[in-house]
A = this chain, B = another copy of it.
């Protein structure tokens, strides 16, 4: 059995991040404090988050923030947002010290006892939080390490993986064997920074739909293929992306994506998982998964696996999204194979869902499709 309980697991990653967070907040606020003491107007320097300051690095393969900065100096006009920035940083520091967290929504409500500098709505608190997050990102700290958690949990996980967590009270190690959850699965928590992994799996299979995940899990495909199944349920949440990234990094595991053959699957689900998005360039370094590859369903699969009569015509939105990917997206611009595949799809004029494989029988996907594809990972789209 896998359920060995070891006292006091290795918590050094979290403790180091916590020290770094506190050091960063202390440093910034010490600067503010010094200015005030010397009767100077204090200021905080923050990265510029506008698209003008977003750079695509083909080498790294993802969008990141450039070097432009904005300086928030205390004035009559900025006094409220200045105070809010400091209070939100103080909240972060308190949460690190008490090993707690707040969702973005909770952080907004916490401000309700801040008197005049309370947030009027969550758009306000989110903007300030994004500023702090961007600043922390430059120092290698994620929003979760500041202890601000997203509202959405991650997807479900099943397969040859032991997740090492910690009992919050006793701090004993807790080991969750994802091969032993029956027809159910492990639900990824909102923050995964503290998790450890033990696995002998060969790869991670990231699956778009819940129905397909249930099929692969119920038939224990992960046992046959020696892999770890992760359900993305559409565009993966922050927690899912970070979970796959850390799992892949720490165990040097390739990540194979199994999604619908349509522009949304290519340009939204897969591309977001692999390189992140331009809108949130300051977080891509934590969330993107460079080890990701596109297993299928590819346009060529529609021909190779005889799915033509189980397709649907591309909608106008599909065509627009595909054209946009070809014309404006640096990720697809960097990959001729992807441009070829998208052009092929546009010529065929149809899309195919992963569940369309059921046309050949419910378990064709397990008995035929996946084994054939997995024989040649080099053929996966980049």
Contact = CB atoms under 8 A, between A and B. Distances in A.
Interface of A: 1, 3, 95, 100-103, 105-106, 109-110, 112-113, 149, 151-153, 156, 163, 165-169, 174, 176, 180-191, 194, 209-211, 213-215, 217-220, 223, 231, 309-310, 353, 355-363
Given A109-B359, A112-B359, 15 more contacts: A1-B3, A3-B3, A106-B362, A109-B353, A110-B358, A153-B214, A168-B220, A169-B223, A174-B180, A174-B182, A176-B184, A185-B187, A186-B187, A187-B187, A190-B214
B189 A183 contact: yes
Contacts of A113: 359-360
25 contacts: A3-B3, A101-B215, A101-B218, A105-B209, A109-B359, A110-B359, A110-B361, A112-B310, A113-B360, A151-B210, A153-B210, A153-B213, A163-B184, A165-B181, A165-B184, A168-B183, A168-B218, A176-B181, A176-B184, A181-B186, A182-B189, A185-B189, A186-B187, A189-B214, A190-B214
Counting every copy of the chain, the complex holds: 2
Contacts of A112: 309-310, 356, 359
A181 B357 CA distance: 34
A interface secondary structure, majority: mixed
Closest 3 CB pairs of A and B: A165-B182, A103-B211, A187-B187
A266 to B, nearest CB: 20
A183 B194 contact: yes
A165 B362 CA distance: 23
A114 to B, nearest CB: 10
Contacts of A218: 101, 168, 189
A210 B149 CA distance: 11
A220 B169 contact: yes
A214 B151 CA distance: 9
